[in-house]
Amino acid sequence: MCLAIPSRVIKIENDMAVIDVDGVRREASLLLLEDPQVGDWVIVHAGFAIQKIDEIAARESLDILRETAALVEQAQPKKRGI
């Protein structure tokens, strides 16, 4: 299964961007996008920004990912201390 994460471009230098997802910053290649700009929301997979998306879709996707992560965490058995 592949998962692409909505991220916001906060800095561009050459063909690389610094992207932000909930305060976590990473680098991503912009080689696959046409005319990326600081402030754009993009989908990032395997270190590459692969598509621009609008902010509403990005925020909705991030909300769904947060909800899914919370449900998975709740379903995990609690570990007992030794």
Entry pTM: 0.82
Higher pLDDT, 2 or 8: 8
pLDDT confidence of residue 46: 93
pLDDT confidence of residue 82: 61
- SS3 string, 15-63, reads CEEEEEECCEEEEEECCCCCCCCCCCEEEEECCEEEEEECHHHHHHHHH
Q: With beta carbons less than 8 A apart as the criterion, state whether 68 and 60 touch.
A: no
Digit-coded pLDDT (tens) for 24-53: 999 999 999 999 999 999 999 999 999 999
Digit-coded pLDDT (tens) for 4-16: 899 999 999 999 9
Backbone phi and psi for residue 68, each to the nearest 5 degrees, phi listed first: -65, -45
Domains and CATH numbers, the chain: 5-75 (2.30.30.140)
